[in-house]
Amino acid sequence: MQLYNFAYLDEHTKRMIRRAILKAVAIPGHQIPFASREMPLPYGWGTGGIQVTAAILGPDDVLKVIDQGADDTTNAVSIRRFFARTSSIRTTTRTPEASVIQTRHRIPETALRAGQIIVYQVPIPEPLYRLTPSRADAARMHALADYGAMHVRLYEDIARHGRVALAYDYPVMVNGRYLMSPSPIPAYDNPKLHMNPALQLFGAGREKRLYALPPYTEVRPLDFEDHPFDPHRADAACALCGAADTYLDELIADDTGRRRFICSDTDSCDSRREETGA
Amino acid sequence: MTLMAAERVTRRFGAVAALEDVSLAIGRREIVAIVGESGSGKSTLLNVMSGRLAPDAGRVMYDSGAGLAPIAAGGEAALLDLQRRRWGFVAQEPRLALRMNVSAGGNIGERLMVAGARNYGAIRAAAARWLETVEIDPARIDELPRGFSGGMLQRLQIAATLVTEPELVFMDEPTGGLDVSVQARILDLVRGLVRRLGVAVLLVTHDIGVARLLADRIVVMRQGRIVETGLADQVLDDPQHEYTQLLVASVLPA
C-alpha cells in the first residue's frame, strides 16, 4: 500500500505551487507569494526548496541534493532519502546525471546544461529587508524599480573597508528590472547565475515566496564602475584534488591550528580525483 | 515664467479645512515664502505642492520642460521621479530626513545614486565638494552624522538635497529649532546657494525675519486661505491685510 502521494505533497498543492512557479518564470526575479505548507521538517531546513522540488519531480527525474556543496551532509542526505522514499525516483550525487538539483548555499562547480533544473533553498527572499523591514515599502520599491538606496550600502562598505564587504547573498539585478537575493550562495557563485542554460527556481518556505530565473537570463551583481564586482576566493588550491579554480572550505586540520583548504563541492572534487588518479 | 502652480486646491482633515480654494504660482528661480501662524495651512500647502499629500479638490501643475502638467498625471512613478530628480525637500528636523547610520558622504551621495550615479570616485568627490560648500570639514566625510551638531546636521541635509542641483526646493522651517547665530549662518548659506544654482524655493516659515531675508515674494496664510501676497518688501513694509499688519507689527524689534 502506498502511504504517501508521489513526492509527499498532494496533487492540489503541487498544482498551486506549479502555478506560482509559472508566474515566477514569467517575471524573472519577481517574488511570487504561494501557500507554503507544513512539511515534516522545520522551517529553515529547506521547506521552500523541498516544496518546489516536490512540485516539479516526475517519475523519470534523477535528483541530486547538496548542502554547502556537499552531497553527504545531514541535510542533503535526509532530503535525498525523503524523496527516494516518497517517490521511488532515482537519486545521484553526480551533477551531470541529475535532472533536478536541490541546493543550499552553493551552485555546483560543474557547469549546468539546458534541461536541468536547480532549486535553491532560500531563508530570506527579500533583498530590501535590510533597508526596510516593511513589506509594503519593499513592494513599492520593487514596483517603482527604486533601488538607489541599495547602492548607499555598497558605498558605505567601500568607504569603510575599501571593498564591498558582502561575502554571500550578494544582491543581483535580474534582466535589468528586479533586484533579487540569490539566496546565501557565496558571491563567488554569482557569475554562474548569469546566462545559465538551466532553469533556476528559488523557494522560501517560511516567507512563502517563490522566484525564478528562466534559462539564459541576464543577472548582474550590484557594483560601481570603478569598484567592479570582485568576489573573494581563498588564495589556495584544494588539498585533495589540487583544483585552483573552485570555491574552497577552510578546515582546521589538527590541534596545532594548521589549516587546509578543500573543495566545497564534493562531487566536483571526487570527479577530478578520479580523472587525475590522485 | 511659471514653474509650478497650485490651482484652486482644497484639503480637509475631517471637519477642519486646512486649505480652502488656494491658488499659488512659483516662477523659475523665484523664492516664495509662505508665512502664517500655526494651523494656518502653510505646511499642508507645502505638502500638497510637493506631492506628499493629495488634495481633495484642485490640482498642482509643474513644468518639466514641456509646459505645465498635473504632477499626479503620470502616476506614482512619475511623481517619484519629479521628487527625486527635479525637486528637493529640506525638513525642519534633519535627524528624520538623514540616514543617521550612514556616513556624511553616503548621505550626500544617496540622491546621486538614486538618480543613477554609479561611479564611486565621482560620488565621493561630489560629496567632499558639497561638504566644503556647506562649511563642514571634508575630512569628516566618513563620520556618522550622530556626532554632528544641530546646525551641522541642517547644513548636511542642505548639501544632501542640493547635490543633484534640483530646479525647485521645498523648505519647511529650515532654521526652526536652531539658535539665532546658527540660523543666521544657515540662512546666509541658503541665500548664496540658491542664487548661485538658480534654484526656485518654496519656503514655509513662521519667522518674518527669515522671509524678509530670503524671499522674493511673500504669501500670507490664515485659516487655510491666502489673505495677502506680494513682493517681499511690499508686503512687509506696507501690509494691506489686517492680519499681515498684526504679523509684521508683532516682530520684536532687533
The span from the CA of A60 to the CA of A15, in Å, is 19
Residue B75 forms contact with A (CB below 8 Å): no
Contact B119 A159 (CB under 8 A): no
A225: distance to nearest CA of chain B, Å? 5
Catalytic residue numbers of A read: 29, 238, 241, 263, 269
At residue B244's C-alpha, the angle toward residues B240 and B246, to 5°, is 115
Measured CA to CA in angstroms, residue A188 lies from A124, A157, A227, A238, B145 at distances of 19, 18, 16, 16, 34
Average pLDDT, stretch B191-206? 92
Model confidence at A138: pLDDT above 90: yes
Residue B110 to chain A, least CA–CA distance (Å): 6
* pLDDT of A36 strictly over 80: yes
Res. A168: pLDDT tops 70: yes
Mean pLDDT computed over A161-167: 92
Report the mean per-residue pLDDT for chain B. 92
Q: Which residue in B103, B105, B119 is closest to A225 by CB distance?
A: B119
Q: What is the mean pLDDT of residues B197-217?
A: 92
Confidence of residue A149 (pLDDT cuts 50, 70, 90): confident
User: How high is the pLDDT of residue B1?
Assistant: 83
Q: For residue A278, what pLDDT is reported? A: 58
- Choosing among B114, B131, B144, B163, which should be mutated to test the A contact, i.e. which has the most A CBs within 10 A? B114
Choose the closest CB to A224 out of B84, B105, B118. Answer: B118
**How far apart, in whole angstroms, are the C-alpha atoms of residue B189 and residue B41?**
27
Task: Provide the β-strand partners of residue B225.
Answer: B222
Q: Please check the confidence at residue A42 and state whether its pLDDT lies above 70.
A: yes
Query: What pLDDT, in 10s, does the model give residues B35-52?
Result: 998 889 999 999 999 999
Report CA B155 to chain centroid distance, whole Å.
13
| Interface mutation target, options A156, A157, A160, A163, chain B, most CBs of B under 10 Å | A156
- Please give the pLDDT value at position B24: 96
- Residue A3 pLDDT: 79
- Render pLDDT for A244-277 as a digit per residue (tens, 0 to 9): 999 999 999 889 989 999 999 999 999 999 988 7
What does the pLDDT average to over B213-232? Answer: 94
* Whether B103 and A225 lie within 8 Å, measured CB to CB: no
The average pLDDT across A115-128 equals 97
Residue A63 is predicted with a pLDDT of 97
Q: Do residues B209 and B232 touch, judged by C-beta distance below 8 A?
A: no
Mean pLDDT computed over B185-192:
90
The whole-number pLDDT of residue B181 equals 85
Quote the CA–CA distance of A126 and B112 in Å, as a whole number.
Answer: 24
pTM: 0.89
- Is the model's pLDDT at B253 over the cut of 80? no
Separation CA A133–CA A210 (nearest Å): 19
Interface touch A159/B124, C-beta < 8 Å: yes
State ipTM: 0.88
Yes or no: say if A137 and B84 are a contact pair by the CB < 8 Å rule: no
Residues A225, B118: C-beta atoms closer than 8 Å: yes
DSSP per-residue string spanning B109-153: HHHHHHTT---HHHHHHHHHHHHHHTT--GGGTTS-GGGS-HHHH
In this predicted structure, what is the pLDDT of residue B139? 96
Res A209 pLDDT > 90: yes
Chain B residues lying within 8 Å of A155, measured CB to CB: 105-106, 109, 113, 120, 123
Give the DSSP letter string of A93-154.
Answer: S-GGG-SEEEEES---SSPP-TT-EEEEE-S---TTTTT-S-HHHHHHHHHTT--HHHHHHH
How far does the CA of residue A164 sit from the closest CA of chain B (Å)? 12
Mean pLDDT over residues A137-147, rounded? 93
Q: Which three cell numbers stand for residue B31?
A: 523664492
Q: Do A155 and B116 touch (CB under 8 A)?
A: no
- Say whether pLDDT at B254 is over 80: no
Arch. (CATH architecture) of B2-248: 3-Layer(aba) Sandwich (3.40)
Q: CB distance B119–A156 less than 8 Å?
A: no
Residue type at position B66: A
Instruction: With beta carbons less than 8 A apart as the criterion, state whether B131 and B107 touch.
Output: no
